[in-house]
Chains A and B, each alone.
Chain A
């Protein structure tokens, strides 16, 4: 698990939360560094929102510790925690103006009236909503409400800002724009962000680090390029982007690489996993991203160390920037290849064509054995 540098601002340690028979969060450990933009990514029901709500104080864990700035905050009510939340529904107070919404948290603190005015103005400027002070939330667009919610939380200068799918209700274009906006604001205020989303692209674009969650467990924590390039589990490989997953049997070892065989007679190399020992005869699965694969002519001479697989084109999907080829290999596996449309599109091939795929074994990533997953992550 990739650790963050510097002091930890907020952490969940061995946290479990049950709702009746359902284990929403199952022994989760996540530590977020000060000033980090950290995302929790996963499909709905994976426990990301429940984890966030335990940091906010809306839910209490059944087991484990929740630490904020080095202090265990389990049992501390939400109004005494130095964290603020941007809610998915924004939850703006309909009876208050924009300025009063933003000032709401400050009313509880010993802040003088002129200070309140100054800070409200400063944070409305930050989210680019100056001049909207006297509007009601109902008079604002979705994007503007989102900005008010952000200003209302940030004006309290919390140790951690929690964001629960804040862009979920916006349309695609506005969402892209707000992603950049959120990143700018986070850099400007330097507050630790914990961001919950089910949108993998959003998480990859925005986060310093992210945790991928599934069924209440953390599958992998790491930098976006780690998660994308070196997925630890089958779930991560499948959830983030498109992946080819190949099952193979180990036949030997050459230096740092294992020799494996997906179909009788072929010989593929994969980097040997460093965290477990593998011996000939073991079965393993590895993944490789479709954009790493290259289609070459049958006649082309390929270096011996490269992975080579022959197959038949099953499907060709033109996608503008690239073309997606679906290829059935001789072993019966289906591989997806992304081909940049830097050449003429008609060269991509037609279904039924025999073809050969080549890629560098460096890009192969051996996946964790499913039963060993738990031991590996928590051990």
Chain B
């Protein structure tokens, strides 16, 4: 890393004139715009190496050919668009639709579960608010993979949940694993903190007097919720929805471990191309398409709700 300094003013060769006061000394400083943007340098380097370059590699792979020894053969003269045609094969459409469906249901569940908790912590948490927030993120102390394995143990056919239901006389032959239920449960469980934290930040900032003002003006609890609280905290809600939905659509750990063949999501299908199926070009093409789709979706979403909220 080197920073180019502006050309220095050459020191004056003439001896200082005792009759005149010293001219103001020019210290060796960088121009303002450089100084301000220096703050961006670490992240820029980080993103260049860990986001932009890998992304370019994925795009390169997506236009290559499946190889035998090297996984991908790429030549500029033979760009293979067929990978994209493959990726858009109507046979894969259900996987894609299912991914969006699961992610949407999980996001909605996160809103329903997260909102009351975030509201409670922000408004009634008192001086223990920070403790509650730490409790919310405590699951992150354990790897997501391990926690999903734990769910596997709980949900499997002779797992904890079935045994518990059996002891309660509710039958012990329920099938949870390999079903949509298990995958959605896993996604909701995994991403819930990403909903709670931004919601909390928004609710905490809200002036309590707004709620009182709404009551004062004749609006009951339900009306106040939809007309005052929800619009006021919508920046947090929008952020929470994005933070849950985006990783949930592309997640592959949860459907791989808790789902079955019929509950595969796009993430696990892509992971498959790089693993078992050994079709890196196809996997790369699917990745690129998924990214474009999510970007378009976020763009539309922010244009519709974001203008009000952000």
Contact = CB atoms under 8 A, between A and B. Distances in A.
B217 interface: yes
A85 B210 CA distance: 12
Nearest to A83: B216
Interface residues of A, number: 26
B212 A104 contact: no
A79 B232 contact: no
Name the residue in B209, B213, B214, B215 with the highest tally of chain A Cβ atoms < 10 Å from its Cβ.
Answer: B213
A268 to B, nearest CB: 52
Contact of A85 (B213, B219, B231, B308): B213
Contacts of A91: 207, 209-210, 212-213
A275 B207 CA distance: 48
Contact of B219 (A87, A94, A108): A108
A93 B213 contact: yes
Contacts of B308: 95
B216 A94 contact: no
Nearest to A87: B209
A311 interface: no
A104 B231 contact: no
Name the residue in B217, B220, B232 with the highest tally of chain A Cβ atoms < 10 Å from its Cβ.
Answer: B217
Contacts, number: 64
A267 interface: no
Interface in B210-238: 210, 212-220, 223, 227-228, 231-232, 234
Contacts of B234: 95
Contacts of A105: 217-219
A101 to B, nearest CB: 9
A57 B213 CA distance: 11
Given A95-B231, A108-B223, A57 B215 contact: yes
B217 A84 contact: yes
A89 interface: yes
A79 B213 contact: no
Contacts of B223: 108
A45 interface: no
Nearest to B309: A95
Contacts of B232: 93-95
A58 B231 contact: no
A83 to B, nearest CB: 8
A92 B220 CA distance: 17
Nearest to A77: B215
Interface of B is mostly: helix
Contacts of A368: none
Contact of B216 (A78, A89, A95): A78
A87 B213 contact: yes
Contacts of B215: 57-58, 77-79
A156 B217 contact: yes
Name the residue in B220, B234, B308 with the highest tally of chain A Cβ atoms < 10 Å from its Cβ.
Answer: B220
Interface in A99-122: 104-105, 107-109
A147 interface: no
Interface string B190-224: 00000000000000000101101111111110010
Contact of B210 (A58, A83, A93, A156): A93
Contacts of A104: 214, 217, 219, 227
A88 B184 CA distance: 46
A152 interface: yes
A56 interface: yes
Given A93-B228, A95-B232, A95-B308, A79 B218 contact: yes
B213 to A, nearest CB: 4
Contact of B218 (A56, A58, A109): A109
A103 to B, nearest CB: 10
Contacts of B217: 79, 84, 104-105, 108, 152-153, 156
B288 to A, nearest CB: 38
A28 to B, nearest CB: 21
Nearest to B216: A85
Nearest to B223: A108
A107 B220 CA distance: 12
Contacts of B216: 56, 78-79, 83-85, 153
Name the residue in A56, A80, A94 with the highest tally of chain B Cβ atoms < 10 Å from its Cβ.
Answer: A94
A52 to B, nearest CB: 12
Nearest to B220: A79
A84 to B, nearest CB: 6
17 contacts: A56-B212, A58-B215, A79-B216, A79-B217, A84-B216, A87-B212, A87-B213, A89-B207, A91-B207, A91-B213, A93-B213, A93-B232, A94-B232, A95-B308, A107-B219, A108-B218, A108-B223
Interface of A: 56-58, 77-80, 83-85, 87-89, 91-95, 104-105, 107-109, 152-153, 156
Interface of B: 207, 209-210, 212-220, 223, 227-228, 231-232, 234, 308
Given A93-B213, A105-B219, 13 more contacts: A78-B215, A79-B215, A79-B219, A83-B216, A85-B213, A87-B212, A89-B209, A91-B207, A93-B214, A93-B231, A108-B217, A153-B216, A156-B218
Q: Give the 4 A-B residue pairs with the shortest CB-CB distance, closest first.
A: A105-B217, A91-B209, A91-B213, A108-B218
